[in-house]
Amino acid sequence: MRFIQISDTHLGKTTDYAYNGFNSHQHLEMVVNAINALPFEVDFVLHSGDVVEYGSAEEYHLARRLLERLRFPVRYAVGNHDNAVLLQNALLGIESPASRYDYTFEADGVQVAVLDSNNGFVPSGTLTETQLANLRALCTAEGAPLVIVLHHPPVTLDTPWIAEGWEGFGFRTMLLDCGEAFRAALAPAQERLRGVFFGHVHRAYQVVRDGILYSSAPSTVIQFASYPEQRLPKPAPEEPPAFALVTVAAEQVTVRQYALARP
* Residue 11 vs 110, nearer CB to Fe ion: 11
CA distance 113 to 104: 4
DSSP string for 135-164:
HHHH--SSSS-EEEE-SS-SS--S-HHHHH
Rounded to a whole number of angstroms, the minimum distance from the CB of residue 80 to Fe ion is 5
* Residue 87 vs 146, nearer CB to Fe ion: 87
Rounded to a whole number of angstroms, the minimum distance from the CB of residue 211 to Fe ion is 27
Partners of residue 257 on adjacent β-strands: 244
* Residue 80 vs 216, nearer CB to Fe ion: 80
DSSP 88: I
Rounded to a whole number of angstroms, the minimum distance from the CB of residue 81 to Fe ion is 6
Residues that bind Fe ion (CB under 5 A): 50, 79-80, 200
Rounded to a whole number of angstroms, the minimum distance from the CB of residue 253 to Fe ion is 24
Rounded to a whole number of angstroms, the minimum distance from the CB of residue 249 to Fe ion is 30
Q: Could you tell me where the DSSP H helices lie in the chain?
A: 24-36, 57-67, 84-86, 129-138, 160-164, 179-186
Rounded to a whole number of angstroms, the minimum distance from the CB of residue 51 to Fe ion is 10
* Residue 49 vs 145, nearer CB to Fe ion: 49
Which residue type sits at 137? A
Q: 145 CB contacts (<8 Å, ≥6 apart)?
A: 1, 109, 110, 111, 192, 193, 194, 248
* Nearest CA-CA partner of 141 in 210, 195, 189: 189
* Residue 78 vs 107, nearer CB to Fe ion: 78
Q: 170 CB contacts (<8 Å, ≥6 apart)?
A: none
The Cα angle at residue 149 between residues 102 and 141, in degrees rounded to 5:
90
* Nearest CA-CA partner of 52 in 63, 39, 40: 63
Rounded to a whole number of angstroms, the minimum distance from the CB of residue 92 to Fe ion is 19
